[in-house]
Amino acid sequence: MSGEGRPTARALNAEGVRLAIVATRWNSDLVEVMTERAMICAREAGTAAPTLVYAAGAVELPVIAQQLARTHDAVVALGAVIRGGTPHFEYVCDAVTYGLTRIALDESTPVGNGVLTCDTHEQAVARSGGPGASEDKGYEATHAALDAALTLQSLKGTE
């Protein structure tokens, strides 16, 4: 796992930014922590209460995120995919990453990708933002999505 190269988070004033979070019900022990951390980031940035919805699993994230991107300024997708003994892991990770990226581009709405893709549960715990974790992906994905939304808003004022 590498958080190497991670930028220092800048303070955000995202008051008025409409934020949505979609989280999976799979690996809920991890995703609940990530969702809590995402909500803390949103609160610290000054956003109103984010819309929070749940998806069955990671494959369902993109379609729900796309609908949310049509009515929000930023979307955050949260989940955890842990490698098993079959190639299914690669298919799911590729599909989710591609889907979330495509939504951001098609809808011109930032989508924070907070979907952990780990070999083990222990690696996922270390990235989830819980006590003693070395990384905080729920918070980081939310911060990135809000930061991008603010940048897009500022660019619209220069057209």
Number of structural domains, the chain?
1
What average pLDDT does range 20-38 have in this prediction? 97
Instruction: Say if 139 falls within a structural domain.
Output: yes
Tell me the pLDDT tens digit for each residue of 93-149.
Answer: 999 999 999 999 999 999 999 999 999 999 999 999 999 999 999 999 999 999 999
Residue 44: CATH number of its domain? 3.40.50.960
Predicted pLDDT at 153: 95
Amino acid 156: pLDDT: 87
Local confidence band at 46 (pLDDT 50, 70, 90 cut-offs): very high
pLDDT of residue 75 exceeding 80 = yes
Strand 111-118's sheet: what is its strand order?
51-55, 19-24, 74-82, 111-118
SS3 78: strand
Kindly report the pTM of this predicted structure: 0.93
Asked if the structure places residue 2 within a domain, the reply is no
Q: Is the pLDDT of residue 2 over 90?
A: no
Binding site residues, as ranges? Answer: 26, 58-60, 80-82, 85-86, 113, 127
Say if 3 falls within a structural domain. no
4 in a structural domain:
no
Average pLDDT in the 18-28 region? 97
- Banded pLDDT at 8 (limits 50, 70, 90): low
Domain that includes residue 94, residue range: 19-157
**Enclosing H/E stretch for 156:** helix 137-156
Q: pLDDT class for 1, splitting at 50, 70, 90?
A: very low
Q: Please state the residue numbers annotated as binding site for 5-amino-6-(D-ribitylamino)uracil.
A: 26, 58-60, 80-82, 113
Q: Which of 138, 54, 63 is nearest to 99 (CA)?
A: 63
- Of residues 33 and 86, more confidence is placed in 33
Q: Which residues are part of a known binding site for (2S)-2-hydroxy-3-oxobutyl phosphate? A: 85-86, 127
Question: Residue 46 falls within a domain, yes or no?
Answer: yes
Torsion of the alpha carbons at 33, 94, 2 and 125, rounded to the nearest 10: 30
Do 76 and 108 meet the contact criterion of CB atoms below 8 Å apart? no
Share of the chain above pLDDT 90, in %: 88
143 counts as catalytic:
no
Would you say residue 103 lies in a domain?
Answer: yes
- The span from the CA of 76 to the CA of 40, in Å, is 13
Q: Is residue 135 part of a domain?
A: yes
Give the pLDDT of residue 10: 81
What is the reported pLDDT for 86?
84
